[in-house]
Amino acid sequence: MTPTLRQSTLLCLALSLCALLVVPGNFPGLSGDARLTLAVFALATCAWIGTPIDDTYIALGAGLALTATGVISSDTLFGTLGDATVWLLICAFVLAAAVARSGLAGRAAVFLVSGARSVRQLTHLTTAALVVTAFAVPATSGRAALALPVFLALAKALAGRGRLVVMLALLFPTVILLSAVATLIGAGAHLITVSVLWESTGERIGFAQWLLLGLPLAIASSHLAAEAVLWTTTRRADRTGPIRVTPEQIRDHVRDTEGMGGPVTGPWEPAETRCALLLATVVALWCSEPLHQVPPAMVALIGAVVASSPALGTVRLKDALRTVPWSLLLFMAATMAMGVAMADSGAARWLVSGLPVEVSPWLFLAVVILVSTAAHLVLQSRSARSSVLVPLVIAAAAGAGVNPVAAALASTAAAGFCHTLPASAKPVTLFADIPGTPTYTPRDLLRLSAVLAPLTAALVLLFALAVWPLLGVPVVR
C-alpha cells in the first residue's frame, strides 16, 4: 500500500467513526464527552500512524480540541506541564548533561569494555555498560547519542572483523531499548504510564518501586537479547579467537567528542569526582524514597541545581537546558491530558466493555503483552503507544479482575520491543546508517526480531506472573 493510499484509508476510517459517533442513536450509554473523546482519539491515532506530521503537533492539537469542547478543563491541560514527572525528566536531562561534560562516560566505557578478552565477554560487558547508562541518561535517544562514539571506537578497533562490527551496531540500540525499563526516567512512556495509573486508579508508582520491578527485567532481557544478537548476526568463526580493545583506541574517539572531553584513564579530575559523587547521591536518594519521603522530582531538582552551580557544577545551566527535549515534554503533557479525558469521560471503559472478561489472568496478560509487542508496527512512537494502550489496558484490567498496575507495567515493558524496522525507534534509526562504518540491514533486523520478539514477550509474561507478585504487584486485585 502506497503512503498516499494508506493516509487516505486511515482518514476515511477515522471520519467514518466520527460520523457514527455524532449520531445520537448510535452506541447507547455513551455520553457526549465520551463521544468527543473517542472522535479526537481516533483522529489523533490515525494521524500518528498515517501522516508525517510531527507527533507533538498532533498531540497538542488533540489536547486543544478536548479542552475547547469542554471534555477537560484548561487547568487540566496546562497542569500536566507542571506534573512532577515532567520536572523529573527535565532535571534528569540537566544531570545527564553534567555527566557527559565531565568525561565520566568515556572513563566508564574504558573500565568495562577494555577488559574483554573474547567476543562473548565483549558482548556482555557492553550490555552491562549500556544497562548502567539508564541511571545516568534519560530517554533512549539520549543514551544512543551518548553511546555512538563508544561504538565507533569499538568499530575501529575491530575493523578487520566486519561481522563483529555489524553485531555491535545491532547490539547497542537493542540493549538501549530493552534496558530502558530499568528506571522510571528510562523512557517518556514510563512517565505517561505512571500518570495514567494515578489518574485512573489512584495508584502511584515511585522511582524506587519502578526500579525494584524494572531493573531485574532490564538485566534479564538485555543479556538475553545480547545472546540473540550474537547468534543471529555472527558465525562460529566470527566468535572464536581472542579480542583486545585498548583504552587508547576508545580515548581517540571519545575525548574529542562534544560533551565527552577529559581523560579516560589515570587519576580522576576534580570535576569527574564531584559529578560521580553527585550522581551516586541522587540515585541513592531516588532508591531510598520510602525512607526519607522526599519526592524524586525534588531530589532531581536539587541535583540539577548543584550540577549546574558555578562552584560545584560541571555544566552551565543554559547549556544543560539546551539538551532537554522540549518537544518530548510537550508531547508527554498533551498525551497525559488525553489519558485523563479517556478515563474521566468513560470512553476507555466503554471501549473495553464488550471484551470477554471471563478469561484467566494469565491469558489476559498474554493478550496485553502480545498486542503491546506488536504495536510498534503501527505506532512508531513509544510514548504514543503508551498513551493509546495504557488507558484501555487499565480499563480492561478492572473489568477482568486483573491488577491494573500489573497490566499497565506489562504493557509498557512489552512496548519496549521495537526492533523490526529501521524506522521503528530512534536508536535503531541512528545506528542503521553510519557513514564509513558497516552496520546492519533491514534483513538483519527481521532475522533478530523473529527470535527476539517471542523471547521478550515470554520474559515479560514470566515476570508479570511469577516475579512481580513476589515484589508486591499481584496478578489479581
pLDDT confidence of residue 442? 83
Domain termination residue (choose one: 71, 94, 123): 71
From CA 355, how far away is CA 239, in angstroms rounded? 49
pLDDT confidence of residue 263? 60
| Count of alpha carbons within 13 angstroms of residue 186, beta-carbon side | 29
| Encoded amino acid at 265, one letter | T
Contact between 440 and 432 (Cβ < 8 Å): yes
Whether residue 44 sits in one domain with residue 143 = no
Strand partners, 476: 402
Q: What is the number of structural domains in the chain?
A: 2
CA dihedral 230, 178, 213, 456 (to 10 degrees): -60
Whether residue 215 sits in one domain with residue 126 = yes
User: Within its chain, how far is the Cα of 348 from the centroid?
Assistant: 23
- Does residue 58 lie in a domain region? yes
Whether residue 411 sits in one domain with residue 294 = yes
pLDDT confidence of residue 258? 42
| Count of alpha carbons within 13 angstroms of residue 169, beta-carbon side | 30
- Does residue 120 lie in a domain region? yes
Q: Where are the beta strands (DSSP E) in 23-75?
A: none
Strand partners, 402: 476
Whether residue 165 sits in one domain with residue 283 = yes
Whether residue 211 sits in one domain with residue 81 = yes
Whether residue 11 sits in one domain with residue 90 = no
Grid cell locating 357: 472478561
Whether residue 374 sits in one domain with residue 242 = yes
| Encoded amino acid at 334, one letter | A
H helices of 69-161, in order, are 74-79, 84-102, 104-113, 119-132, 140-157
pLDDT confidence of residue 257? 46
Domain termination residue (choose one: 24, 56, 71): 71
- pLDDT tens for residues 94-110? 887 887 777 776 676 66
From CA 24, how far away is CA 53, in angstroms rounded? 32
Residues 6+ apart with CB under 8 A from 448: 170, 174, 228, 229, 232, 233, 419
- Does residue 463 lie in a domain region? yes
Low pLDDT (below 70) residues in the chain: 1-29, 105-106, 108-116, 238-239, 241-242, 244-266, 352-357, 378, 380, 423
For residue 436, give the DSSP letter.
Answer: T
From CA 34, how far away is CA 40, in angstroms rounded? 10
Domain residues for 8?
Answer: 1-71
How far, in Å, are 174, 202, 303 from residue 132 at the CA level? 14, 31, 19
pLDDT confidence of residue 92? 82
Grid cell locating 378: 503501527
Among residues 158, 103, 167, which one has the least CA distance to residue 136? 103
Whether residue 180 sits in one domain with residue 131 = yes
* First-last CA distance in the chain: 44
Whether residue 391 sits in one domain with residue 352 = yes
Whether residue 37 sits in one domain with residue 85 = no
Contact between 76 and 336 (Cβ < 8 Å): no
- Does residue 476 lie in a domain region? no
